[in-house]
Amino acid sequence: MRKNIILLAAMILCAGILKAQKPENILAAVGTPPNPKVQVSWNRYNDYAAITDICKRLAAAHPNLVKIESMGKSFQGKDLWVVTITDTKVGNADKKPAMYIDGNIHSNEIQGSEFALYTAWYLAEMYASGNKSIMSLLADKTFYIAPTINPDARDNFIHQANTAHSPRTGLIPIDNDRDGTTNEDGFDDLDGDGHIVMMRRKSATGRFKVDPTDNRRMILVGAEEKGEYELLGSEGNDNDGDGFVNEDGEGAYDPNRDWGWNWQPNYIQGGAYKYPFSLPENRAIVDFVMKHPNIAAAQSYHNNGGMILRGPGAIEDVDTYNALDIRVYDALGKKGEEMLPGYKYLVVYKDLYSVFGGELDWFYGGRGIYTFSNELWTGYSMYNKTDGEDSQNQLYTFDKDLLMKDAFVDWHAYKHPLYGDIEIGGFKKTYTRLHPGFLLESDAHRNMAFSVYHAYNTPKLSVGEIEVKDIGGGLTQVTTIVNNERMIPTHSSQDVKNNIEIPDIISLSGGTVVAGMIVTNRDMNFTVEQKLDPTNIKVQNIPGNSFVTVRWLVKGGSKFTVNVNSKKGGLASKSN
């Protein structure tokens, strides 16, 4: 008996361990890791524990590529994981141009974590499979990926009964109804089915009726029509006896109104907390970014609406985004529209609404980092057609046609202590804002590819020609070109304008430097001399898809080495 129990336990354990398949049994689909070491199903959502497990498994399976560390603690004490991905056999991770990616700043916008995590998984597994493009990318670049930056509220959304829109914020308690008690009158799962849906009751004065073409749907009656029902809002009770339902739920401070760029207090920008970076999660991110000046590009994942957003968040900041940087944004954003069908490249303040104290504005305005915020999921994906006037109808038809009505809780009777005989029903929290499972991996892949394209276009520096010329008097003139082979400059215009990051340093060794200069016109021999420390020439910027020319006058030597050190552009070196 004991032997059988041990055998059964061993079988269960083995069944629970996902192993790579045998290569001889697989025909690899193009663009996908053919036999990943870390098996992950990308058609579902992971809680904090599962995210932690996937990160740790990636690090264990790919020790030369993946490192996991905590950049701080959440309000409730959870580690804020950052996964660093680069080819550690080729250069130091923190000396390469880097892409920072995070997701789930808003707790109900959970697919951002899956998209960020998919990116980490894909890069590691495709490198391991021998994909030359990814191997080349990770030789040159570093990715810092923070799958969830609001883990407390993420777990609340996943494990507690919520609507698709709650909780949006963190879980720091707040007294929304100012009765002296926090969080006492949030949603109640009246029937215990795990879903917070809608309440309705029959009423002679109601303004809604059942759609005759779909009995799940409520529609507003016309001015001369008689209604059947009144809608009572989301599922819940009046727990504090003040006559109102669901007015004091969990959390209310918005982590995307907490950043130290054009921050405004709560009475101006709803959701702001005490002061910039007063939320511990955001403070940890800021500390991480400040310690990693090699971050040249960033991506934050939100939902929903199918948008590739750039700042400014408010019109007051419109002059911050200058023409040279907008050219880079436009080139990247327009490419994103090609890669992400149904998504539109937009400007926050102009195409949406004003945001003060937003993450992407701090990354760009405060650090000079080209940053996008993608709003994931679009109704276009339902039937691959533009989402128009039938968008609400599409939710019902798509659920019926492709989801087998799995997204809707059918209306059913309930005896409410305040409202009496009512009915409960409606869409589950995992619908309307979140991807259905079968579309989750597809959109994760496309957004990953857009981030990879962005990262690829961070600076790539190389030393080109080194011209050595004897000019007499014991002096040698050494002239070199430093190329930037990618679209993004080593310093954004915002960076240069505000001296955010130190200049790039181009150095010469092999002789005694007596003069150093930047060549502004080689044909006309126009130069600007750097009189202090001429060996190490400071260059304010190496433009994208362009170059700079520098020159030294040297005593002695014939074999010279040029070294380039750029915080966001990385390192480069060459000898004549």
Q: In what order do the strands lie in the sheet containing 570-575?
A: 536-539, 504-509, 561-566, 570-575
Asked if residues 377 and 303 have their Cβ atoms less than 8 Å apart, the reply is yes
Cα 90 from Cα 134, distance rounded (Å): 13
CA quadruple 395, 397, 401, 406: dihedral, nearest 10: 50
Q: What angle do CA 377, 381, 383 make, to 5 degrees?
A: 150
pLDDT in tens, the chain (576 residues): 555 555 444 444 444 445 677 878 889 899 999 999 999 999 999 999 999 999 999 999 999 999 999 999 999 999 999 999 999 999 999 999 999 999 999 999 999 999 999 999 999 999 999 999 999 999 999 999 999 999 999 999 999 999 999 888 877 776 665 666 655 567 899 999 989 999 999 999 999 999 999 999 999 999 889 999 999 999 999 887 777 887 766 667 899 999 999 999 999 998 999 999 999 999 999 999 999 999 999 999 999 999 999 999 999 999 999 999 999 999 999 999 999 999 999 999 999 999 999 999 999 999 999 999 999 999 999 999 886 556 888 999 999 999 999 999 999 999 999 999 999 999 999 999 999 999 999 999 999 999 999 999 999 999 999 999 999 999 999 999 999 999 999 999 999 999 999 999 999 999 999 999 999 999 999 999 999 999 999 999 999 999 999 999 999 999 999 999 999 999 999 999
Task: Tell me if residue 375 is catalytic.
Answer: yes
- Please compute, for residue 288, the number of CA atoms within 13 A of its CA located in the half-sphere on the CB side: 27
Asked if residues 490 and 461 have their Cβ atoms less than 8 Å apart, the reply is yes
- Please compute, for residue 109, the number of CA atoms within 13 A of its CA located in the half-sphere on the CB side: 29
Cα 76 from Cα 172, distance rounded (Å): 9
- Please compute, for residue 112, the number of CA atoms within 13 A of its CA located in the half-sphere on the CB side: 28
pLDDT for the residue numbered 389: 55
Pairing of strands 79-85, 66-73: antiparallel
Asked if residues 50 and 147 have their Cβ atoms less than 8 Å apart, the reply is no
204-208 — which CB contacts under 8 Å span 24+ positions?
Answer: 205/230, 206/230
Q: Go through the domains of the chain in sequence order and give each one's CATH number.
A: 50-157+254-380+436-456 (3.40.630.10), 177-249+408-427 (no CATH), 461-575 (2.60.40.10)
Cα 121 from Cα 55, distance rounded (Å): 9
pLDDT for the residue numbered 170: 74
pLDDT for the residue numbered 17: 47
Catalytic residue among 125, 250, 359, 375: 375
Q: What angle do CA 388, 112, 194 make, to 5 degrees?
A: 85
Q: 3-state SS of 48-72?
A: HHHHHHHHHHHHHHCCCCEEEEEEE
Cα 389 from Cα 13, distance rounded (Å): 51
Residue for token pair 């005593």: 555
pLDDT for the residue numbered 16: 42
pLDDT for the residue numbered 459: 98
pLDDT for the residue numbered 223: 87
Pairing of strands 370-376, 307-310: antiparallel
